[in-house]
Chains A and B, each alone.
Chain A
Amino acid sequence: METYPRPRLEPNYRLPEEELLKPGHMACPGCGASLAMRLALKALGKNTIVVIPACCWSIIAGPFPYSSLDVPLYHTAFETAGSLSSGIAAALKVLGREDVTVMAWAGDGGTFDIGLQALSGAAERNDNFIYVCYDNEAYMNTGIQRSSATPWLAWTTTTPADKPKEEPKKDIIAIMAAHRIPYVATATVGYPDDLEMKFRKAKAIKGTRFIHIFSPCPPGWRTESKDSIKLARLAVQSKVFPLLEVEHGERWRITVWPEKFVPVREYLKLQGRFRHLTDEQIEIIQRNVDQAWEKLLKLAGENVRESSPCA
């Protein structure tokens, strides 16, 4: 089984200057998903084709005939990020252009829910593209409805505060790792160097690569735009969203060992979507998070503290 060394980070490493996400895009202020794209494209560079199914990014990218991306972009149907990208990758292969990176870029709805079949099909075939899910934990494009990525007890417009979401968030990382694709990773805009490093690493690997990006969304989470980065960091520090990598479904590794750990309450209290939670509920969430973390530590085994220098 091939192993993939992490790209080395020089002590004074700086993100590439080139901006492939142009000013004038249509994201809300503080949108994690737009920052994520900016960083991802910095890492992947100009030789990239982006595929975007229906989601907030269908709007962020700009209407016909404009584009906020300086790379080729295909807007596609909601559930086809996986299948359409397979077609592009196959065409690039027959046309002798395998130097081009294909990146599918979908929301959590397009990934966890309606697009899961196409994604699973592509991953099972190990088709050659990077699939990115920017996860804002609800259907934001259509106005904040629950998805299977919405956390337990969160408010959305289809899970009102009187009867918030009853089911836990779907474990997409376990699902993708179970496909034994060469590379699965989580990332967030709160740790940009880790995110960028993972895209550079993914770019060098062949086959299906899956990157799950935790993306704060001020209007959907009822948070302040200025808090998006803070929330992204708190999600990692509270163990709600660990930063990790999985190679071939087997080698699990925690890539960022947080500089400090904080209680989940710190993370939850900044968000209007959790305003209705009781103390008991917050305690249960804390227990769930701790258990999931313990499970992850077991999976990571000796790689547990092999932390990236960029933490």
Chain B
Amino acid sequence: MKKVITGNRAVAYGAKLSRVQVIAAYPITPQTTIIEYLADLCASGELKAEFIKVESEHSALAACVGASVTGARTFTATSGQGLLLMHEIIHWAAGARLPVVMAVVNRAIAPGWNIWTEQNDTLSQRDTGWMQFYTESNQEVLDTVIQAYKVAERVSLPAMVILDAFVLSHTSEIVDIPPQEMVDEYLPPYQPQYKLDVDDPKAFGGLVYPADWTELRYKIQQAHQQAIEVAREADREYGELFGRSYGLVEKYPQDEAEVILVTSGTVTSTARDVIDHWRARGQKVSLLKVRLFRPFPVEDLRRALEGAEKVAVIDRNFSFGHGGIFAQEIKSALYMNSHRPTLFSFIAGLGGRDITPATVEKVLNYTVSRDRPEEEAIWIDLKK
């Protein structure tokens, strides 16, 4: 069934179709309407879930951890400050190997207050052990929530499904909502291997001595490595059933290019348009969208970027004291290649500033007109 819905509604539909059993969440702009929709779905009985209206995000995620370790499929959603307040329990959920799925609407971090999109909130959770999916359209948002459960429950890791504030969260698009029976076929009920069970009492999360610690951390890393193939397979299977798949990264168009632009989130759609124009003019440029950021699909990226002479990365984020985060990550992924393209790192669209086709043009023009970048990171549209 096709509907015109916002990204936030697409999140709620994704959770509903995934038959989540426990939701715990706390409102924050621009995530709020997600939990309002879910509250309605729970109140009307359309979604048979327990919705705990907690008093903070820290408690939201702690409640999800409790529900998940008891064997329920759990969901939460947040944004910016709320995500940061959860930080301790974000580590906890991953260390505890619980397949919680959380939608995060990217929002810039205060001070000053800024409710618009920027990726520093989710990227500052990079090293917590969560998987991270960045999405481009409302359809992809819905599909990715369902896929995220499939992957999370297979590898026992939590997952974030990430969407841009307002550009997706509050903007309506046509979204095909798959029938429940098909989603049920794709995503069977959650069957945890271990849980709190009075018939088989076990202790979880007690003191671990140095003698065992490294091995437990290594297992998390193994799960991440495994998750790359599991996510690829889950996406392929989804494509077979529903006719839509996205890849872990997507090269657009597929053929050889001298310059490759790397994007994540909604900037990708804008860039697709610009690339089409440049292609029409005979220029050998293309686009690489990064959908899965953790685990980082290093091999896919290497293969996709191998033939290019230059790679231009647009980061809607910044690591103070160093540079754009996707750019750094891609640089490190390419380091072992025998042929390394020249990497141009661009910072754009912070705090919700629009990234327009003209912005993308500037990025491409800068890249094609120079052999090397003049700065470590180029701040596009910076008022001087």
Chain A residues in the interface with B (C-beta under 8 A): 46-49, 51, 58-59, 61-67, 69-77, 79-80, 82-88, 90-95, 100, 117-118, 120-121, 124-125, 127
Q: Tell yes or no: B15 within 8 A of A by CB.
A: no
- Decide: B198 and A72 in contact? CB cutoff 8 A: yes
* Nearest chain B residue, comparing its CB with the CB of A118: B59
Q: Tell yes or no: B343 within 8 A of A by CB.
A: no
Give the interface centre of B66, B201, B202 by most chain A CB atoms within 10 Å.
B66
Across-interface contacts of A73 in B (CB, < 8 A): 201-204, 206
A–B pairs, 11, beta carbons within 8 Å: A51-B66, A59-B207, A61-B206, A71-B201, A76-B92, A80-B62, A83-B60, A84-B66, A87-B22, A90-B50, A91-B71
- Decide: A86 and B54 in contact? CB cutoff 8 A: yes
Give the interface centre of B63, B72, B197 by most chain A CB atoms within 10 Å.
B63
Number of A-B residue pairs with CB-CB distance less than 8 Å in the complex they form: 162
B202 contacts which of A63, A72, A100 (Cβ < 8 Å)? A72
- Decide: A66 and B203 in contact? CB cutoff 8 A: yes
- Chain A nearest Cβ from B90, distance in angstroms: 11
* Nearest chain B residue, comparing its CB with the CB of A63: B207
Question: Assuming the A-B contacts A71-B198, A83-B54, are A94 and B72 also in contact, with contact meaning beta carbons closer than 8 angstroms in the complex?
Answer: yes
Across-interface contacts of B63 in A (CB, < 8 A): 83-84, 86-87, 90
- Decide: B58 and A118 in contact? CB cutoff 8 A: yes
* Nearest chain A residue, comparing its CB with the CB of B70: A91
- Decide: B206 and A63 in contact? CB cutoff 8 A: yes
Give the CA-CA distance A291 to B152 in the complex, in Å. Answer: 58
Q: Tell yes or no: B287 within 8 A of A by CB.
A: no
Across-interface contacts of B208 in A (CB, < 8 A): 63-64
A125 contacts which of B52, B64, B88, B205 (Cβ < 8 Å)? B52
Size category of the B interface is 35 or more
Give the CA-CA distance A100 to B195 in the complex, in Å. Answer: 14
* Nearest chain A residue, comparing its CB with the CB of B92: A77
- Chain B nearest Cβ from A40, distance in angstroms: 16
Which residues of chain B in 168-220 are interfacial with respect to chain A, using CB atoms and an 8 Å cutoff? 196-198, 200-209, 212
Q: Tell yes or no: B299 within 8 A of A by CB.
A: no
Question: Assuming the A-B contacts A47-B198, A73-B204, are A86 and B52 also in contact, with contact meaning beta carbons closer than 8 angstroms in the complex?
Answer: yes
- Decide: A100 and B198 in contact? CB cutoff 8 A: yes
- Decide: B67 and A76 in contact? CB cutoff 8 A: no
Give the CA-CA distance A30 to B109 in the complex, in Å. Answer: 49
Q: Tell yes or no: B345 within 8 A of A by CB.
A: no
Give the interface centre of B49, B56, B64, B198 by most chain A CB atoms within 10 Å.
B198
Give the CA-CA distance A70 to B53 in the complex, in Å. Answer: 32
Across-interface contacts of A100 in B (CB, < 8 A): 198
* Nearest chain A residue, comparing its CB with the CB of B202: A72
Give the CA-CA distance A49 to B88 in the complex, in Å. Answer: 23
